[in-house]
Structure 1
Amino acid sequence: MSSIARLPKKDRQTKLVQYLQDNPFATDEDLAEFFHVSIQTIRLDRLELGIPELRERIKSVAEQHLDPVKSLGIDEVIGEVIDLQLDAQAISVLEIKEEHVFAKTQIARGHYIFAQANSLAVAVINADVALTATARIRFVRPARLGEKLVAKATVRSRDGDECKVRVETKVQGELVFTATFRVVGMTDVTSAW
């Protein structure tokens, strides 16, 4: 992550507001590192500026941009869905915790990264039932303990009941995973493709 030189308080607070507009999922730790100040300084800046903590910012974004998931239960999507516009796009955030990593390396197990992307690709489809038919995936770099994976799914095309969905997963703007899914929407689960 790039950072900036230590700034006077007023300039730092102005840049903090701008930074959070572009990176609403930045943690206090991320901000402290970026601005070369303590976490307590960031918390005081947020308090003075009336900027809520991360969980509240995520909840606020989600309330503004969430269509109801149709193809599966919202609790079946891996990660926290913060944006969902059916047949258009969706965003989820997954914080990598101890249960997601290999103990020896602290690197996230690939199936969690894939599951976040796959479940988001299915959730964005406006159908009663949606299933993944194919997936073309690429792991770009390892994700590590404590990182927040932000996955964005975009519906690229639709041909009848089939949709092509592109998912990009990033950590602080850096690409870690990409996938292109062919998702089939169905009304009758007994009819296979």
Structure 2
Amino acid sequence: MKRKKKERQRLLQETLEENPFMTDEQLADRFSVSIQTIRLDRMEQGIPELRERIKDVATQQRDSVISLSPDEVFGEMVDLQLDKRAISIFDVREDQVFARSGIARGHHLFAQANSLAVALINDELALTSKAGIQFTRQVRAGERVIAKAEAKKTERERTVVSVMSYVGEELVFAGEFVMFRSNDIEAPEKEREH
């Protein structure tokens, strides 16, 4: 039994290093144990609860944003590699959904994706010049939306950023943003050939 516990705690640590935003409920399901067991394992390993993990990662990333002030990013920025990729988390509240249907207002999902695309750009002036978006599933109050942005192509003063937003592992929003940037950067040799 002890060996099983040590193995589970090792896997828990690895799982949270890979995805620090998993809830205790998701971890309990993954390891087929109770939520209380996960909490005890986390405490023994010195792993903070989800809110603290999010806050720690967000605090580390906030100072990296060049194109926006930190409070202009919609959602919690949890990862940022300028001109490469970024991740943010948005917990949908009751006041962000339509009263009759309980469905999140689309402009909140768009704001999360668009501000993430802007934040990704390593330039003081980054503006959305064009966007193609698709909502793939309704989002409701209480759900957590994780948006992942990736710079796909840069040519001169334009960068194409793809943003995919998920609830759990289900895609809820997809967007491609063409971002204007004031600095003219040369695309890598490989991109110029295509």
Tell me the TM-score range normalised by the shorter chain.
0.7 to 0.9
Residue 76 (str. 1) matches residue 39 (str. 2): no
Residue 122 (str. 1) matches residue 105 (str. 2): no
Counterpart in 1 of 2:17? 21
Checking the alignment, whether the CA contact within 8 Å between 2:61 and 2:77 is kept in structure 1 is no
How many Å separate the matches in 1 of 2:100 and 2:18? Answer: 34
* Structure 1 counterpart SS, 2:9: helix
How many Å separate the matches in 1 of 2:55 and 2:64? Answer: 15
How many Å separate the matches in 2 of 1:108 and 1:11? Answer: 40
1:1-193 equivalences in 2 (<5 Å):
9-62=5-58, 68-186=64-182
Pair 1:24–1:101, CA change in 2 (3 A): same
Shift, 1:63, TM fit: 5.2
Checking the alignment, whether the CA contact within 8 Å between 2:62 and 2:70 is kept in structure 1 is no
Q: Relative to structure 2, which stretch is displaced further, 106-115 or 26-35?
A: 26-35
* Structure 1 counterpart SS, 2:27: helix
Greater helix percent: which structure?
A: 2
* Structure 1 counterpart SS, 2:44: helix
RMSD of aligned residue pairs (Cα, Å): 2.1
* Structure 2 counterpart SS, 1:94: strand
Structure 2 residues without counterparts, runs of 5 or longer: 184-194
Checking the alignment, whether the CA contact within 8 Å between 2:58 and 2:76 is kept in structure 1 is no
* Structure 2 counterpart SS, 1:161: strand
Work out the percentage of aligned pairs sharing the same amino acid: 54
Pair 1:104–1:44, CA change in 2 (3 A): farther
Shift, 1:16, TM fit: 2.6
Amino acid at match of 1:168: M
* Structure 1 counterpart SS, 2:36: helix
* Structure 1 counterpart SS, 2:150: strand
* Structure 1 counterpart SS, 2:16: helix
Pair 1:25–1:80, CA change in 2 (3 A): same
TM (normalized to structure 1)? 0.82
Checking the alignment, whether the CA contact within 8 Å between 1:66 and 1:85 is kept in structure 2 is no
Shift, 1:143, TM fit: 1.7
Off by >6 Å, runs of 4+ in structure 1: none
How many Å separate the matches in 2 of 1:168 and 1:139? Answer: 10
